[in-house]
Structure 1
């Protein structure tokens, strides 16, 4: 029996592990000796992550929740490591699978290796080159102790090879986030709020901002918002935003008839909005992947990206964090000359099955 512990800590992690759970269940139903245990570190508390959240992703509630949310980076890392060590002592698997680049990814990788449990990293090898991002440190440290890597791109493979990882440990499989998106493509759900129901397809923008470089400095945040409002013509701007951030925006006097602050949305609702948007303006990495596959123009307000394939083959453009650079991109968008999705290799909805079959080959 191959026993796999799957680790998720933040909301996007569950979109990445959901198809892996489905693939394991599929193998198990076919008679294969394989099982899993889902561990939620509790890194991010999100009131939307209720039973409905797991129901939308068609996955069971986590087998364990370590409740390690809150505190500083160091406090959170320590709490996750303490909780996960106890979890592994009571439920020792054959392999621990971590995804992405959050604090949980780093903390659980270290804990596993110290207990001599092999670690596999889904989304290994991606790099932004920006050491001011906590995620970049998490990626580098996790990849330095990982046993096997499941990668989303040839560039990720190259990054790992440059750091001395042997090709026998690098497995180019694709993107499990896209597995979830394609699996749910026909189930995307229109939000119930009246003003969101009244939106016309391809006649509004979706905006998300969360990175410190954009939201921590009030003057810069105001400049970004002013540039977005100025450059989006007569189109509504839908901004799913944490209530705390919304208060800051209102305190800065950032309001407009076309700017709508929305509560955080469910996975199916948010991607419904993205799919039908004229464009997405974001500083999130994952959204650039989803927008590209849905062929929706995407403008990324960052100076670097760990997902260059979304620029080379997707619909994403790296605008930067200088608000003055936004205007020409919005002007290009308004002329209808934005690039189309070209197709990214192995982003085909079958990544999770490739991962599980490789794990069976390695560890069974």
Structure 2
């Protein structure tokens, strides 16, 4: 049973479901938790996948304790009904934590994709850092995306054959999606792409959604974007607006009506990958974007003070800039004033090689004692590609 509820979970679980279907020794049951219902299913659409189960939860207040309690209630019912051999969760969301807790209580093994990420600050990101540490204590199989993630687990006393270096499945996802034919749902984006490809303008793609970015930090980010546009008259900004009403209200107040800013509804994953592939620069507080952008050689400004993905910073793929408007504008200008690197000179994506889903499938099958006519393990991930030395 693969359980997710947010867009990043859908993107990172989809390649694993596909690998399971291809190998044929496990039958994946995709469960949509309802945390971000429309965004989860929209992301799965890019892989021609649909949830096998859609959970219905009640969220009158929208609080995190309410969400956790509701998820545990409905997930427990599913575990009793389906009695899965293993539960697979991804990342550090409330869905992942609720699923793992419920499975642990029901004595169902938990496989944790993207295990071992750490910012070493319980308040940033909040509550994700605490979620990750809790997940590590109750998971049976730790699927680590990088060498540093393995080392983080080892430092917490989590060692042995059930810690497996896989790479990050988001690299599998973005490589499988890139270059697919598509039509934008918003005609403004087709016009943006035409201007970028004809070298009339350049694209800066921006995403902001983290809880710790709300309020004053987001105000700083928006001020920084306005400053970038004042300095660079050939730059256009595309900013998909998160559905949270408070985030939407603040973004609309901060940049709605500003020339060359295109505010859109959340993009489907194919559209997002297409824009990412033609961008000259990305500014984001998202962890997934830090992992995806290096596959296209697009530099990332990380709109946070800390990141659990230092591999990208050390590889020269990302820069930590925080939310200060001047720092955002200065770092953006530095990158915009440099010509893009040719493909042969770009840093290698430190998060994987596109085979993480097959390593994940093999590790789960091995934990369950499954064999097949072809049980050959995928090649090991090179440590250089895994964020090693």
TM score, norm. by length of structure 2: 0.84
> Structure 1 pair 56/180, CA: closer, same or farther in 2 (3 Å)?
same
Q: Conserved in 1, the CA contact under 8 Å of 2:298 and 2:317?
A: yes
CA distance in 2, matches of 1:250, 1:99: 31
Superposition pairs for residues 214-253 of structure 1, below 5 Å?
214-217=213-216, 219-220=219-220, 222-242=222-242, 244=245, 245-252=247-254
Cα deviation 1:312-349 (Å, max 9, x = unaligned): 22521111122221233122212216776422457111
1:45 aligns with 2:37: yes
> Structure 1 pair 80/192, CA: closer, same or farther in 2 (3 Å)?
closer
Q: Conserved in 1, the CA contact under 8 Å of 2:113 and 2:143?
A: yes
1:12 aligns with 2:8: yes
CA distance in 2, matches of 1:338, 1:292: 13
Give structure 2 stretches of 5+ with no counterpart: 370-389
Cα deviation 1:36-93 (Å, max 9, x = unaligned): 21111111132x555x65332122x222122236321001001111111110101111
Cα deviation 1:185-212 (Å, max 9, x = unaligned): 2216352433321221371211111224
CA distance in 1, matches of 2:58, 2:269: 21
Query: Number of aligned pairs?
Result: 353
The DSSP-based 3-state class of the residue aligned with 2:158 is coil
Deviation, 1:223, is: 3.0
Match of 1:171 in 2: 164
Q: Conserved in 1, the CA contact under 8 Å of 2:71 and 2:99?
A: yes
CA distance in 2, matches of 1:77, 1:64: 18
Superposition pairs for residues 210-289 of structure 1, below 5 Å?
210-217=209-216, 219-220=219-220, 222-242=222-242, 244=245, 245-252=247-254, 255-289=257-291
The DSSP-based 3-state class of the residue aligned with 1:320 is coil
Superposition pairs for residues 1-364 of structure 1, below 5 Å?
5-28=1-24, 32=25, 34-46=26-38, 49-50=40-41, 53-59=43-49, 61-68=50-57, 70=59, 71-132=62-123, 133-187=126-180, 189-199=182-192, 200-201=196-197, 203-217=202-216, 219-220=219-220, 222-242=222-242, 244=245, 245-252=247-254, 255-313=257-315, 315-336=317-338, 341-344=346-349, 347-364=352-369
Q: Conserved in 1, the CA contact under 8 Å of 2:72 and 2:99?
A: yes
Please identify, of 247-256 and 307-316, the stretch whose mean Cα deviation from structure 2 is larger: 247-256
Cα deviation 1:229-270 (Å, max 9, x = unaligned): 334443111111146444433435753211111121111011
The DSSP-based 3-state class of the residue aligned with 2:51 is coil
CA distance in 2, matches of 1:253, 1:84: 40
TM score, norm. by length of structure 1: 0.90
Please identify, of 270-279 and 342-351, the stretch whose mean Cα deviation from structure 2 is larger: 342-351
Please identify, of 298-307 and 186-195, the stretch whose mean Cα deviation from structure 2 is larger: 186-195
CA distance in 1, matches of 2:229, 2:337: 17
Please identify, of 100-109 and 192-201, the stretch whose mean Cα deviation from structure 2 is larger: 192-201
Dislocated runs of 4+, deviation >6 Å: none
> Structure 1 pair 231/303, CA: closer, same or farther in 2 (3 Å)?
farther
